[in-house]
Structure 1
Amino acid sequence: MSVIRGWCPTAHRPMEAGDGLIVRVRPRLARVTRTQVLGLCAAAASYGNGHIDLTNRANLQIRGVPESQWPALIERLCALELVDPDPALEARHAVLVAPDWRAGDDTHRIATELAARLAEFPDLPGKFGFAIDTDAAPVLQDDPADIRLERDVTGGVILRADGRARGVSIPVDDAVSALLALAEWFVASGGRAAGRIARHAAALPAWADQDALPAPAGPPLGDTGSTLGPVHGVAFGRIEADALAALMTPSATGLRVTPWRRLIVEGGAPSPRSEPPGLDVDACVGAPSCPQATVETRTLACRLAPHVEGRLHVSGCAKGCARARPADVVLTGRDSLFDVAFDARADAVPELVGLDAAHILAHFGAS
């Protein structure tokens, strides 16, 4: 039985995994400076096992941290201004920001004000978050957030509760106050019990329940690149500390972190697009790194992906940490074997049960 946790690891509240503690860093405004990148990499190598994961919330996770090294790691991350020394404030930095922002644009202005006003927000469930996505074509509509600020079809800014097709038009200068008001309503109306706004049964307040339609989503970053610098793809979201540090060439000023397993190297030297195998396949760390997984995931995912039509998700257990949404083909580990479902999540009722890796490969013609 998989243990479903209602929270994500933070720096001050790390999560135990098979390879040690997971310590999560939440880059402010989706950006990490050159100095911070190099400091983070050195800390990951000194206090962890050198593995750094990119999450679907555009966070960076340092893995393999022994409990005895955790206090020193936190001290170092706070000194780098990557973590707030106040655990309560750090817990409120669950903010997803469209990574292509420019200084002074609406996304930058709103995200900066939100960061300065987080102390005003109520305590929210561990997985509750915000998305600031006010480019002409929103890019975060499929990424996890509970309250979104994005463009509507007329070019204005709207506030939209996740799971609702429409939102309410908001002046840019009032955007953060509107976020705060909806977060306060969520708590006051009993939302903590639901955990996420899309699961909350209470009707939205009348002022937030309007008919503004969000603009159509923009193309994924991987299809268009970035004018800020070269885009580096990270297979399965895992990168080694020395490889991440190597991205900081002399001209690079920092990184923009995305929720799509891609890093934008600000000012980096032009290079061929890096699209490694496994970049668009979903697979958690699996066994033995995760104590709840009973199967290895990523080697099988790489072998199987070329033979699967559509999106492939290989999950070490029914939690489905690597992908919350349905995939065309999903393999879920159970008792050292795999169950298979189609157009489903990892916790769906399977159509095939109890297959080992060899049988999986044969079934899809990959043996």
Structure 2
Amino acid sequence: MTQRFTPPEVKGWCPGLFAPMQAKDGWLVRVRPPLGRITAAQAVFLAQIAEREGNGLICLTNRASLQLRGFSHNNALRFPELAVLAGLGMANPEHEKRLALLVSPLAGCDRSCAPDTLECAAALRMALCHADTLSVLPDKFGFAVDGGGLFTVGLLKADITLQANGAGLWSVVCGNQKSKAAPIQTIVELAVKLAQAFTAIPEGKRPARYPATGKMLFQAIHQPYYPAEVTSAAVPDPALLAGSIGSALYALNAPLGILTSTMLRSCAHHARNGDGILRLTPWHSIILHGMPYAPHVADMVDTSTNPILRVSACMGNAGCAQAEGATQALAKTLAHSLGAGESLHVSGCSKGCAHPAKASWTVVADQNGYGLIHNGTTSGPVMRFFPDDTAVEDYFIGTKPQERIMNGRV
């Protein structure tokens, strides 16, 4: 069967601290923790707010942000003031809007990560706060500071990335181009200039951000540029997503990126027995450091062999009005039928919000059932169609990976 899904209408906006968004299960609010980390006290605060004012569900996003779900409109509007008081956001909405910033999660506790990663991130964060012209950037335009280490250079994905080059030098990577290596301050200034150049391009003439934008922006500010090595890897090795990942370093993975308030509170309890910090990753893991034991949190993954680590799924029709079918339970069921090294994405519609990249198997819901795509994204050609989620489960359970591939060729 060769067909593609019709893209759904793009509605709403990318939520932020001062821009809550209405979903099917209520309003959701987003927190971008400074440098991708929160204290144990802040985690307990968020757990309490999620229970008291939301539905108790918290999403750990692929931008290392936290989204609290199920708020009333009034509670969502009141949330920013509480978050700012807790140190989880900037009081100035314009400053907050510009701080879509990913940072290497293990900076400061991984000896193989560039030792000046946090210094670089703090310098960029400060520069973005003072760059008033960047308030017109698109909501999803993001930055990253990539110091490498256990999470190797290239895993963090952003529109503009500052990458460590060793010996205290950094480069700016934009699309498939990069700058020459230079000290932190020079590189931070260059990153801001590239972002400002992006804002100068009329919205209708902006290219797809990858890979063409890099060349265009470097040329616009008259800076030399060179080909960048761009990794195709979307996620790290599963061995870094759950369990012991280094000296006194432990990763707890939220299955499909969904936490409950109880799970977050338990993570905070363990963090207090270490350095007191919860480090958030774009791969649905929370990393704790310094405990004298391996932490265990009910319903979180703490072994790297669990197949759910190779699975992604959106909220589905339980939480999104555009989703045509259920996703979460289906994804968890199908996980156990994956072959070695295979990945799976289950999407409620063809937007693919939870995983825009390719997966070994992608299951996409529409109003008539579920389509199965092999080695593609949600917009890829459908090789097989099923009337409901039960038929998808029966097919996966009853066939081996190679049989599925062959069936799709019939």
Return the TM-score normalized by structure 2: 0.81
Code of the residue aligned with 2:85 in structure 1: it is: A
Structure 2 counterpart SS, 1:307: coil
Q: Distance in 2 between matches of 1:168 and 1:291?
A: 46
How far off is 1:174 after superposition? Answer: 1.5
Match of 2:144 among 118, 131, 154: 131
Q: Distance in 1 between matches of 2:84 and 2:379?
A: 37
Code of the residue aligned with 2:198 in structure 1: it is: F
**Structure 2 counterpart of 1:35:** 41
How far off is 1:108 after superposition? Answer: 0.3
How far off is 1:195 after superposition? Answer: 7.5
Question: How does 1:123-202 map onto structure 2 within 5 Å?
Answer: 123-136=136-149, 139=152, 141-152=154-165, 156-162=169-175, 164=176, 166-190=178-202, 194=206, 197-198=209-210
Q: Distance in 2 between matches of 1:140 and 1:296?
A: 35
Code of the residue aligned with 2:289 in structure 1: it is: E
Q: Distance in 1 between matches of 2:232 and 2:397?
A: 37
Q: Distance in 1 between matches of 2:195 and 2:141?
A: 10
Q: Distance in 1 between matches of 2:59 and 2:153?
A: 19
Code of the residue aligned with 2:383 in structure 1: it is: E
Q: Distance in 2 between matches of 1:216 and 1:152?
A: 20
Q: How many residues align?
A: 366
The one-character-per-residue Cα deviations of 1:292-322 (angstroms, maximum 9, x if unpaired) are 1121111111111222331111000011011
**Structure 2 counterpart of 1:222:** 241
The one-character-per-residue Cα deviations of 1:144-177 (angstroms, maximum 9, x if unpaired) are 3101111349984221103x06543222232211
1:337 matched to 2:343: no
**Structure 2 counterpart of 1:251:** 273
Match of 1:357 among 377, 389, 395: 389
**Structure 1 counterpart of 2:284:** 261
Code of the residue aligned with 2:158 in structure 1: it is: A
How far off is 1:339 after superposition? Answer: 1.0
**Structure 1 counterpart of 2:69:** 63
Cα 1:351–1:301 change in 2 (3 A) is same
How far off is 1:62 after superposition? Answer: 0.6
Q: Distance in 1 between matches of 2:127 and 2:255?
A: 35
Code of the residue aligned with 2:260 in structure 1: it is: E
Q: Distance in 2 between matches of 1:196 and 1:226?
A: 38
- Is the Cα contact below 8 Å between 1:138 and 1:151 reproduced in 2? no
- Is the Cα contact below 8 Å between 2:101 and 2:144 reproduced in 1? yes
How far off is 1:358 after superposition? Answer: 2.5
Cα 1:302–1:76 change in 2 (3 A) is same
How far off is 1:181 after superposition? Answer: 1.2
**Structure 2 counterpart of 1:327:** 359
Structure 1 segments of 4+ aligned residues over 6 angstroms from their partners: 214-218
**Structure 2 counterpart of 1:286:** 316
**Structure 2 counterpart of 1:299:** 329
**RMSD of Structure 2 on Structure 1 (CA):** 2.8
Cα 1:210–1:55 change in 2 (3 A) is same
Q: Distance in 1 between matches of 2:180 and 2:387?
A: 49
Q: Distance in 1 between matches of 2:338 and 2:285?
A: 22
Note the residue ranges of structure 1 that are not aligned, 5 or more in a row.
none
**Structure 1 counterpart of 2:406:** none
Q: Distance in 2 between matches of 1:47 and 1:200?
A: 43
Note the residue ranges of structure 2 that are not aligned, 5 or more in a row.
1-6, 297-301, 400-410
The one-character-per-residue Cα deviations of 1:235-287 (angstroms, maximum 9, x if unpaired) are 01111112211122342412000011110123345216713662320111111
**Structure 1 counterpart of 2:299:** none
The one-character-per-residue Cα deviations of 1:175-197 (angstroms, maximum 9, x if unpaired) are 21111111112222336753863
1:271 matched to 2:294: yes
Cα 1:324–1:142 change in 2 (3 A) is farther
Cα 1:97–1:62 change in 2 (3 A) is same
How far off is 1:59 after superposition? Answer: 0.4
